[in-house]
Chain A
Amino acid sequence: MRAVNPWLLFLPAFIVVGFNSFLPIVYAAYLSTQRFYLTGIEAKFIGYDNFTALMFDETVWRSLLTGAAFVVTCLVIEIPLGLVMALMMFKESKLNRVIRTLISYPILMPPITVGAVWLLLTRPDIGPIPNFLNQFGIVYDIGSNPFHAFFTVVAMDVWYWTPFVILVFVAARASISPEQYESAMVDGASSWHIFRYITFPGLRYALVVVLLIRMIDSLKIFDQVWILTSEGPYKATNFMSIYIVKTAIGQLNVGYGAALSLFFLFIIIILTFVMLKLVFGRRSSS
């Protein structure tokens, strides 16, 4: 029987990945070198002019800054909250199972539905949130107040994604062997020491995964924000994804939109690389 080149076995995967990821990126790279409006104007090669333009585009930097603030705020809330709740409900019991099922409900919803639900919750005329806050004299308006818009999107993200964080931590906590806890207790370790030296190291890789996924996800956030606030007052929620879509689809400026997309992709790759290096690099050195 003739030996088959083992690389051939990778071929289907190469084709799928290449078609799904590589080709669009190559096409985006091509578009980014064009002055190309989707309005029938002849596309014109302009080299790296689109990239030069984005370097001087105030909205790009403002959007990145807004995105960074959003990611940090979300992670600072979601990770500790998720961790605490996971530790409270990781034990197998009927009540915990019910609670875990109930709190998982948001992640089953499509993002577009989440946006629509929050739009109804926050509508100044019929929304329960503004009506509740009005009782305390707080005028809540995501249409005119940039802080309200920004923190409402943060709240929506926390509501939507904290259950995911909880589930990952619950699974990770369940995988730590009980013997370690028993030994620690026999040795008289305090609760803090048990958390510091057993629980936290056991959850470290789950933490990295959650951080990585949530960071990238939060940076890319689009659907919910598109529905809820769009770019928001004072562009308070004009994240890069929103700006890219408004440029490429709203303004039909496909060439510049492609350049923005590639630039954004580059930033996400760099951030992911740094995160992986920080965590796994440290692991291999230790």
Chain B
Amino acid sequence: MFDMSEKKVDRRTWIATVAAAIGGLAVGAAAGYFATPREVLEKMITTTVEKIETKTVTVTGSPPKPEEELIRWWKEASKPYSGTTIKVLAQAWEPNFYLRDVVGPKFTELTGIKIDWELTSNELVMEKEILDMERGTGIYSSTYDDQDMVGTWIRKGWTYDYTKLMDEHPELIEPAFNPDDIFPLPYCKDAKGHILSIPAEYFPKTYIYRTDLFESPKEKEDFRKKYGYELRPPRYYDEMLDIAEFFTRPPDLYGFIGADGAKAHEALGFDFFETWFPSCGATGEGLDPYPRDLLPGWGINTKTWSSRMENGGALDSPQAVRAIETFLKWLPYAPPGVRAMIYVESGEQQAAGKVAQAITYTQFLSTYANPELSKIAGKFRVTLPPVDREYWRPYMPIGYADISGYTIPWCSPHPEAAFLWAQFVISPLNELERAKAINTTVRTSVLTNPALDPLDAKFGGVFSLIRDPIARKYFVGTPLEIGDYAPLLYVFYTTLAKAVAGELTPKECANELARAIDEELVKLGYK
């Protein structure tokens, strides 16, 4: 039947065989990828997160230049701007106090450029910068705000395009400025890939739990007896609610608190599109890039500019209803007064050791880790937030990355000096020390620096968590298509507050939210 005699295989057959093998492997891998059962993928995700402490990640980008060389460069490049004063508008809180007190003076000493700080509340930063840009008054040389605003800058064209600025002034680009090394940068670029904001902070909104409780043999035993499975950080909300119920022991300990409390406040709005809607699947699949026609967390379809299911939106979907239901379900396990709390009070409850588990802003980790300010120092750990068992699918976003950065208003009186400052903040001259002080970095090279290892345990493993590029993908920034953050946020929180107060059922609330958002989108000129 077969000719088993030795026969030289010709070149064409070789190529055909190899090509068929490669093609077959690719098809098989693709089929396997798409056909992988959800549980397997979920396991992959969760095991990724569990293993990441020992994981090493290849550092991308060029290695930083030696310090002396950089210092020389800074002195030389800034000479034309020496003596200039730049007015910087930023939010009044710890990371910026650090910049004002430590990095700013160092910048002035090196460059001769002085900084006039205006630190105020986040809401006022937004209002003041918009007024400045809208009117073109040119008060601020640079503003430091949430990435939430980048969509607004794209839509309005109110800020300097850093990419163009770099083209025009290549002499102002720090030799160590490597865009590939700045991992949150994709959330700060427009569709053409131009940089509108240089990020300086990256804080994922994670799940946090008390290790002293979760690792206590007695608690573990009692939990297993009561619920029939092991006490561990939950993968699903039903497990999280079991744990919440188990640890609710008033008045000293409660089961859970959301990152933003439950007050009728803007925070309620952003908590939903940052945490509850994405983790309950009210969004499309796809992480990076996310599906551009269904905005993660916001449930708005950008093809129809509608949030209704019938138009491809998701705010009145069963997933959105589930998100509202889930939010209402944890309220009984939260510390008393949760309906009068926002993120500040939620953080206080966590620091006071009043809750066994929570969703948290990792900005607060340095406070939690400080034994003078916190009762949970050395007793907490962070990981990926839980998701809804029924509606969340692998490769959907889970939570939010709070990214902040420097933008230069189009009317900035000193754009070049402001550009230098934005680079200096994340310069290798500062970045490692800054990461140690305020537990954030935007540079992969610093994030993976072994010098941060001793601090990782202190900050609950946050560096390990975000060192994993897969885990990091689950935390997404505000979609860049959101060009009117504030007005839409207002509609979100005022409507959701009705469900929290009990005025509307989750289903009614979801319908009302979709209707109100669609109405607002029309008013704002989206359709």
Tell me the A residues contacting B by CB distance below 8 Å: 35, 37-41, 122-125, 130, 139, 141-144, 146, 229-235, 246-247, 249-253
Contacts and interface: CB of A to CB of B under 8 A. Distances in A.
B158 A39 contact: no
Contacts of A250: 123, 266, 486, 489-490
Interface in B115-150: 123, 127, 130-131, 134
Interface in B331-359: 335-341, 345, 349, 352, 354
Given A125-B352, A143-B263, A250-B266, 8 more contacts: A37-B523, A39-B484, A40-B130, A125-B349, A141-B336, A143-B339, A232-B264, A253-B487
A26 B226 CA distance: 68
5 contacts: A39-B152, A125-B336, A230-B264, A233-B339, A252-B130
Contacts of A247: 490
Among B156, B265, B339, B345, chain A packs the most CB atoms within 10 A around the CB of: B339
Given A39-B484, A40-B156, A253-B487, A143 B262 contact: yes
Given A38-B134, A143-B341, A251-B490, A234 B336 contact: no
B486 A39 contact: yes
Given A39-B484, A125-B354, A141-B337, A233 B127 contact: no
Nearest to B338: A143
A40 B523 contact: no
A122 B339 CA distance: 13
Contacts of A139: 336
Nearest to A146: B501
Among B158, B264, B340, B345, chain A packs the most CB atoms within 10 A around the CB of: B340
B339 A246 contact: no
B71 to A, nearest CB: 40
Nearest to B488: A251
B166 interface: no
Describe B's contact surface by its main secondary structure: helix
Given A125-B354, A230-B265, A143 B486 contact: no
Contacts of B490: 246-247, 250-251
Closest 9 CB pairs of A and B: A143-B340, A124-B337, A143-B339, A40-B156, A251-B490, A124-B336, A144-B339, A252-B486, A251-B487
A143 B524 CA distance: 32
B127 A249 contact: yes
A32 to B, nearest CB: 16
Contacts of A40: 130, 134, 152, 155-156, 158
Interface of B: 123, 127, 130-131, 134, 152, 155-156, 158, 262-266, 335-341, 345, 349, 352, 354, 483-484, 486-487, 489-491, 494, 497, 501, 503, 523-525
B252 to A, nearest CB: 11
B332 to A, nearest CB: 11
Contacts of A123: 337, 340, 345
Nearest to A231: B264
B503 A251 contact: no
A141 B524 contact: no
Contacts of A230: 263-265
A37 B524 contact: yes
Nearest to A248: B127
Nearest to A42: B525
A53 B35 CA distance: 53
B487 A233 contact: no
A146 B486 CA distance: 26
A35 B339 contact: no
A223 to B, nearest CB: 14
Given A37-B484, A40-B158, A144 B524 contact: no
Nearest to A247: B490
Contact of B337 (A38, A130, A232, A252): A130
A35 B524 CA distance: 9
A218 to B, nearest CB: 22
Contacts of A146: 501
A124 B340 contact: yes
A37 B487 contact: yes
B158 A142 contact: no
B501 A144 contact: yes
Contacts of B156: 39-40
A141 to B, nearest CB: 6
Contacts of A35: 523
Contacts of A142: 337, 340
Contacts of A39: 130, 152, 156, 483-484, 486-487, 524
B132 to A, nearest CB: 11
A123 B336 CA distance: 9
Nearest to B335: A125
A23 B457 CA distance: 59
B266 A234 contact: no
A100 to B, nearest CB: 34
Contacts of B341: 143
A71 B156 CA distance: 43
A150 to B, nearest CB: 13
A28 B335 CA distance: 44
A38 B130 contact: yes
Contacts of A251: 486-487, 490-491
A233 B264 contact: yes
B130 A234 contact: no
A231 B489 CA distance: 16
B501 A252 contact: no
A119 to B, nearest CB: 8
Nearest to B337: A124
Contacts of A122: 340
Nearest to B493: A250
B221 to A, nearest CB: 30
A234 B264 CA distance: 9
Given A144-B501, A249-B123, A252-B486, A124 B158 contact: no
Nearest to A40: B156
B152 to A, nearest CB: 7
Nearest to B262: A143
A252 B487 contact: yes
Contacts of B494: 231, 246
Nearest to B354: A125
Contacts of A124: 335-337, 340
A142 B262 CA distance: 12
A232 B503 CA distance: 13
A277 B262 CA distance: 46
A133 to B, nearest CB: 12
A112 to B, nearest CB: 12
Given A39-B152, A233-B264, A141 B123 contact: no
Nearest to A131: B251
A35 to B, nearest CB: 7
